[in-house]
A and B are shown apart, each in its own frame.
Chain A
């Protein structure tokens, strides 16, 4: 594979605070092929959303630092673009679906207006043409009465419908990459699977690469081929979903998996938790960030950072991986 749909190379994000730098994303690299889904999992506050916002260049400019060797979409580096060039890429080549469908759409414009505005921004076209494109995208996500949805305001739709409309907005320009940041977290289970199904269908149709950010491992298992495990701003493990679930190599990944409640007929559900808490970004432990909570910790873990091979298909950042 010569050219990845999305290739992030050495991305770092930090906050400048009075007490010094707070590293929230620490030199991470990964890539996604066209037509594939990759899950990015980890506990709340581990830097998943920051990664997404940094890829799109949406972080505020004051108080936040971002550095990246490169962020490539279909081989084209977008990390060094100026503001105007970047705007031409956003929404057209890479689109994001946000967590809160309730607030992510503008309440005083109709759904149709907001979707067609995205297409108009990048490709222009007559009003009639824009309207048709917009209706097509709404129909593509499964709305049977697209006209009605198009003339509705966000508050007139349910959460799931809004998120579907958001997907229509993300796919209207047929982007190379879609980043879905906790896009189904706020929705009930049946709506959740409907949304994932529509996303998958559109992905098959257009060979879109999807970065699915979630803390829901079960969902990632359902819909992703590969998975990245993130902890305190670093990637700890990359592998395909099946291997992760059958034998996770990093103790943290194994810990996360054991947190999924198992329901079975024979025994009561057993839930375990990873001991300890996520350390705050102001005083991260030296060495492996997970060492203080790790049951397999050894002295080396607290002194040096285990290497993470970003080129390999299966990688783990651990001195004592489970095997």
Chain B
């Protein structure tokens, strides 16, 4: 991977990021809630209204406000939260690591297990093992995440079941307490995503196994391990990487939203959830904007990784 290639990819990312932040600004801020009337009392005069609008910056021209928004995102100086008065950036810095620590094990395990099961099902395509794995994954996809989370909580976290783990909370001080709090959410995340992952990876691997060059390898005496773990896996890296990279932003924000609200964990998802319900605009602006930026970043890194795994991409 050459330096010009990386810079060109990064340059392509800039207009994309501008577009993403522009749309989120348009939807969240320009067409978003107007706080003027929350802040002023009853029967305001024209001057009072104008005064408040001026202090909120509503009277400035549209493009200038957008420019300020981009500047805020760039400098990470995101203002103060409406509800707590804390700087938004320090809220994010506090909660983001918690969300990552919460979601990462489940995300990695869910994808690895899905890949393993998908590979197994693809190899035994049409046999009973394939059918078993595929029907189990349909069942997994059909069960609501609510049912999975609540039954896991009952089974593992209450006196009705094993009562081994906490139902809610996040008092992590070391590795032991980390496992104590992260185990049940991880299990829940794996179970929720495993069905989709398995089906996705099976479809990719089954395609790869049918390819001509795999037949060539068989004709030259390659065993199943060499076929699957060297050639099928390496060839399927492009779709696999794409899926993983594209799901990173969703997992960080929305995936943790689900888990954090059910397990009462103070991560970025819970903060976002509360900001939506209370109309805390500075936080929403920051989260939406940064998610967009994160997405574009993931896309750009994805493009760069293509040229590493596939010799046909790159060099141009």
Which residues on A are within 8 Å of B, measured CB to CB? 56, 58, 62, 84, 87-92, 95-96, 98, 100, 103-109, 117-118, 121-122, 153, 155, 169
Contacts and interface: CB of A to CB of B under 8 A. Distances in A.
B311 A104 contact: no
B213 interface: yes
A100 B212 contact: yes
Given A58-B218, A90-B220, 16 more contacts: A58-B219, A62-B126, A62-B127, A84-B223, A87-B221, A87-B222, A95-B219, A96-B219, A104-B212, A104-B216, A106-B231, A107-B312, A108-B309, A108-B311, A109-B231, A121-B222
Nearest to B238: A108
Interface in B231-247: 231, 234-235
7 shortest interchain CB distances as A-B pairs: A91-B220, A103-B212, A90-B221, A91-B221, A106-B213, A87-B221, A153-B311
Nearest to B216: A104
Interface residues of B, number: 22
A105 B221 contact: no
B235 A108 contact: yes
B218 A107 contact: no
Nearest to B312: A155
B241 to A, nearest CB: 13
Contacts of B216: 98, 104-106
Contacts of A92: 221
Contacts of A91: 219-221
A315 to B, nearest CB: 29
A90 to B, nearest CB: 4
B217 interface: yes
B173 interface: no
Contacts of B215: 58, 98, 104
B310 interface: yes
A62 B123 CA distance: 12
A106 B221 contact: no
24 contacts: A62-B126, A87-B223, A88-B221, A89-B221, A90-B219, A90-B220, A90-B221, A91-B221, A95-B219, A98-B215, A100-B212, A103-B213, A104-B215, A106-B217, A107-B213, A107-B312, A108-B234, A108-B235, A108-B311, A109-B231, A109-B234, A117-B222, A122-B221, A153-B312
A90 B311 contact: no
Contacts of B231: 106, 109
Contacts of B235: 106-108
B211 interface: yes
A121 to B, nearest CB: 5
A100 B311 CA distance: 20
A205 B212 CA distance: 30
A56 B311 CA distance: 31
Contacts of B226: 117, 121
Contacts of B221: 87-92, 118, 121-122
A121 B212 contact: no
A150 to B, nearest CB: 14
Contact of A90 (B127, B213, B218, B309): B218
B231 to A, nearest CB: 6
Contacts of A62: 126-127
Contacts of B211: 103
A96 B219 CA distance: 7
A106 B310 CA distance: 11
A98 B212 contact: yes
Contacts of A87: 221-223
B219 to A, nearest CB: 5
Nearest to B309: A108
Nearest to B124: A62
A253 to B, nearest CB: 30
Nearest to B211: A103
Contacts of B310: 107-108
A121 B126 CA distance: 29
A65 B312 CA distance: 38
A20 to B, nearest CB: 20
A29 B151 CA distance: 64
A103 B211 CA distance: 8
Contacts of A109: 231, 234
A109 B311 CA distance: 8
Nearest to B222: A121
Nearest to B223: A87
Contact of A105 (B126, B213, B222, B311): B213
A87 B216 CA distance: 12
Nearest to B237: A108
A169 B220 contact: yes
Interface in B72-131: 126-127
A117 B219 CA distance: 13
Contacts of A117: 222, 226
B36 to A, nearest CB: 59
Contacts of A56: 219
Contacts of A169: 220
B213 A104 contact: yes
Contacts of A118: 220-221
Contacts of A104: 212-213, 215-216
A56 B218 CA distance: 9
A104 B219 CA distance: 11
Nearest to A86: B221
A87 B226 CA distance: 12
Contacts of A90: 218-221
A301 B234 CA distance: 55
B218 A155 contact: no
A67 B31 CA distance: 73
Interface in B191-241: 211-213, 215-223, 226, 231, 234-235
